[in-house]
Amino acid sequence: MDYYSIKIPNFSPLFISSPVSDLGFSGSNLFIMSSDRRIYIFDTTLRDGEQVPGCQLNTVEKIQVARMLEELGVDVIEAGFPISSPGDFNSVVEISKAVTWPVICALTRAVPKDIDTAAEALKYARHKRIHTGIGTSDSHIRYKFNSNREEILERAVAAVKYAKKYVEDVEFYAEDAGRTDNEYLARVVEAVIKAGATVVNIPDTTGYCLPEEYASKIRYLVENVDGIDKAIISTHCHNDLGMATANTISGLIAGASQCEVTINGVGERAGNTALEEIAMIIRSHSDIPLQTNINTTKIAPASRMVSSLMSMPVQANKAIVGRNAFAHSSGIHQDGVLKDVSTYEIINPKDVGIDDNQIVLTARSGHAALKYRLETLGVKMSEEKLDDFYNNVFLKYADQRKQVGDDDLLALCGAHRGPAVHIKLDYLQVTSGKGVRPVASVGLDIAGEKFEAASGGNGPVDAALNAIKTIIRRHVTIKEFTIQNITNGSDDLGKVHMQVESEGRVYYGFGASTDIITASVEAYLDCINKFKNVNLE
Ligand code: KIV
Ligand code: ZN
| Ligand 1 atom nearest to CA at 201 | 7
Q: What average pLDDT score do residues 189-201 get? A: 98
Q: Which residues contact 287 (CB under 8 A, 6 or more apart)?
A: none
Q: At what angle do helices 275-284 and 244-253 cross, to 10 degrees?
A: 50
Instruction: Please report which ligand is nearest the Cα atom of 272.
Output: 2
Contact 494, 512 (CB under 8 A): yes
Question: Rounded distance, CA 389 to CA 383, Å?
Answer: 10
Question: Rounded distance, CA 405 to CA 409, Å?
Answer: 6
Going by alpha carbons, the residue nearest to atom 6 of ligand 1 is 175
pLDDT of res. 479: 82
pLDDT tens-place string over residues 93-125: 999 999 999 999 999 999 999 999 999 999 999
Q: Which residues contact 368 (CB under 8 A, 6 or more apart)?
A: none
| Ligand 1 atom nearest to CA at 44 | 8
| Ligand 1 atom nearest to CA at 48 | 8
pLDDT of res. 31: 47
Lowest-confidence range among 144-153, 206-215, 314-323, 490-499?
A: 490-499
Going by alpha carbons, the residue nearest to atom 5 of ligand 1 is 175
pLDDT tens-place string over residues 135-168: 999 999 999 999 999 999 999 999 999 999 999 9
Q: What average pLDDT score do residues 403-427 get? A: 76
Amino acid letter at 168?
E
Count Cβ atoms within 10 A of the Cβ of residue 446 and give its class: 0-12 exposed, 13-18 middle, 19 or more buried: middle
Q: Which of 262, 260, 254, 273 is nearest to 234 (CA)?
A: 260
Q: How far is the CA of 338 from the centre of ligand 2 (A)?
A: 42
Share of the chain above pLDDT 90, in %: 58
Instruction: Please report which ligand is nearest the Cα atom of 81.
Output: 1
pLDDT of res. 28: 46
pLDDT tens-place string over residues 227-274: 999 999 999 999 999 999 999 999 999 999 999 999 999 998 999 999
pLDDT of res. 4: 36
Instruction: Please report which ligand is nearest the Cα atom of 78.
Output: 1
In the DSSP assignment, the letter for residue 394 is I
pLDDT of res. 233: 98
Q: Which residues contact 492 (CB under 8 A, 6 or more apart)?
A: 408, 486, 514
Q: How far is the CA of 88 from the centre of ligand 2 (A)?
A: 17
Amino acid letter at 181?
D
For residue 22, give the 3-state DSSP assignment. coil
Going by alpha carbons, the residue nearest to atom 8 of ligand 1 is 48
Indicate if the pLDDT at residue 324 is higher than 50.
Answer: yes
Indicate if the pLDDT at residue 437 is higher than 60.
Answer: yes
Q: How far is the CA of 175 from the centre of ligand 2 (A)?
A: 8
Q: Which residues contact 521 (CB under 8 A, 6 or more apart)?
A: 425, 428, 442, 461, 464, 465, 468, 511
In the DSSP assignment, the letter for residue 310 is T
| Ligand 1 atom nearest to CA at 47 | 8
Q: At what angle do helices 299-309 and 59-72 cross, to 10 degrees?
A: 170
- CB 488: neighbour CB atoms within 10 A? 11
Indicate if the pLDDT at residue 83 is higher than 60.
Answer: yes
Amino acid letter at 438?
P
94-112 burial code (b ≥16 CB/10 A, e <16): bbbebbebbbbbbbbbbee
Q: How far is the CA of 444 from the centre of ligand 1 (A)?
A: 42
Q: How far is the CA of 77 from the centre of ligand 1 (A)?
A: 15
Indicate if the pLDDT at residue 13 is higher than 80.
Answer: no
Going by alpha carbons, the residue nearest to atom 7 of ligand 1 is 173
Q: Please state the pTM of the whole predicted model.
A: 0.74
Contact 343, 336 (CB under 8 A): yes
Indicate if the pLDDT at residue 179 is higher than 90.
Answer: yes
Share of the chain above pLDDT 70, in %: 87
Question: Rounded distance, CA 238 to CA 267, Å?
Answer: 8
| Ligand 1 atom nearest to CA at 107 | 6
Q: Which residues does ligand 1 sit against, CB inside 6 Å?
A: 48, 173, 175, 201, 203, 205, 236, 238
Q: 284 phi and psi, to 5 degrees?
A: -80, -30
Question: Rounded distance, CA 243 to CA 239, Å?
Answer: 6
In the DSSP assignment, the letter for residue 318 is -
Where is pLDDT greater, at 36 or 25? 36
pLDDT tens-place string over residues 351-405: 999 876 556 688 888 888 888 888 877 787 888 889 999 998 899 888 877 778 7
**Mean of per-residue pLDDT scores for the chain:** 87
Q: How far is the CA of 135 from the centre of ligand 1 (A)?
A: 9
Q: What average pLDDT score do residues 481-501 get? A: 72
pLDDT of res. 475: 85
Q: How far is the CA of 26 from the centre of ligand 2 (A)?
A: 26
pLDDT of res. 537: 37
